[in-house]
Structure 1
Amino acid sequence: MINNQSKYGNIFFRGIAKLIDLLLILVLWKFFHEGGFFTGIFYLLISDGLFKGCSIGKKFLRLKVINIERQSKADFRDSIIRNLPLALAAFFLLIPILGWLICIALFAFEFTLIVGDPDARRLGDYLAKTSVIEE
């Protein structure tokens, strides 16, 4: 278990990294219109495997995803499993109003798991057996 000061600092920087990634997804969505949404979802799924355990947002903030069992940087398989809950939540964005509320609720659920978990892991981390650490 990590100390609370380090844990909450990690959560803050993880949130900023995810915000950077979500802004990139939004740009893809708006730039490529309908195809951009699916391009963005594809990026979300593989993002943590792009730079040996780092998405673009994590790369900027010097964070990386590791597979706990293998003690190695996350690969594309880990990334897809880890980000599947968020990708599924994003599909609700295609449904006006109610879908947006469901998406927000699912992201809030993941955030609540991170804050409440002693190791700051979310559902996707448990599914993929991963954790986010500082580089």
Structure 2
Amino acid sequence: MVNTQPNYSNIFFRSISKLIDILIVVVFWKFLHEGGLFIGIFYLLISDGLFKGCSIGKKLLRLKVINIERNVNADFRDSILRNLPLAFSTLFLLIPILGWIVCIAFFAFEFILMIGDPDGKRLGDHLANTSVIEE
């Protein structure tokens, strides 16, 4: 019997890939200031639809996002839906101290959801019906 179950990615590698994508957001923000933060958030929203289901971070770690319902690579719609909670929380970085706490707390919440889910899904994955797999 052939195993048709997807090879879900390791939470450690998913976290590293997201960290790479967040570093890209920080670079935009650092060099282009507030406008750069919005460009970075735009990147975060569409990132998983750029390279056939891969953001830059996922591409480097050989991961990709798939739409489970359609069994295809994530597109821009899937990417926006799954990254909307993270992008929204990133906007809080514009608020000194309290905003940073809210943003970090939300990222921690997403990480805890990922750890507690049998398939390693976070809130965004449930919203978009996606999952991260190894290529």
The two structures share one fold, judged by TM-score above 0.5? yes
Could you tell me how far apart the structure 2 residues matched to 1:72 and 1:64 are?
10
| Deviations 1:74-131 (CA, angstroms, capped at 9, x unpaired) | 0000000000000011011011000100001100000000000000000000000000
Q: Structure 1: which 5+ runs fail to align? A: none
Deviation at 1:32, TM superposition (A): 1.1
Q: Which amino acid in the other structure matches residue 24 of structure 2?
A: L
Q: Which residue of 2 aligns with 1:103?
A: 103
| Deviations 1:42-79 (CA, angstroms, capped at 9, x unpaired) | 00000000001000000000000000000000000000
Q: Structure 2: which 5+ runs fail to align? A: none
Q: Which amino acid in the other structure matches residue 18 of structure 1?
A: K
| Deviations 1:23-54 (CA, angstroms, capped at 9, x unpaired) | 11100111111210100000000000000100
Q: Helix, strand or coil for the counterpart of 2:131?
A: strand
Could you tell me how far apart the structure 1 residues matched to 2:102 and 2:36 are?
21
What TM-score, normalized by structure 2, do the two folds share?
0.93
Instruction: Give the alignment's Cα RMSD to 1 decimal.
Output: 1.3
Could you tell me how far apart the structure 2 residues matched to 1:90 and 1:34 are?
12
Structure with bigger helix share is 1
The percentage of aligned residue pairs carrying the same residue is 75
Runs of 4+ with >6 A deviation: none
Could you tell me how far apart the structure 2 residues matched to 1:128 and 1:83 are?
9
Q: Which residue of 1 aligns with 2:10?
A: 10
1:75-90 to structure 2, matched below 5 A, reads: 75-90=75-90
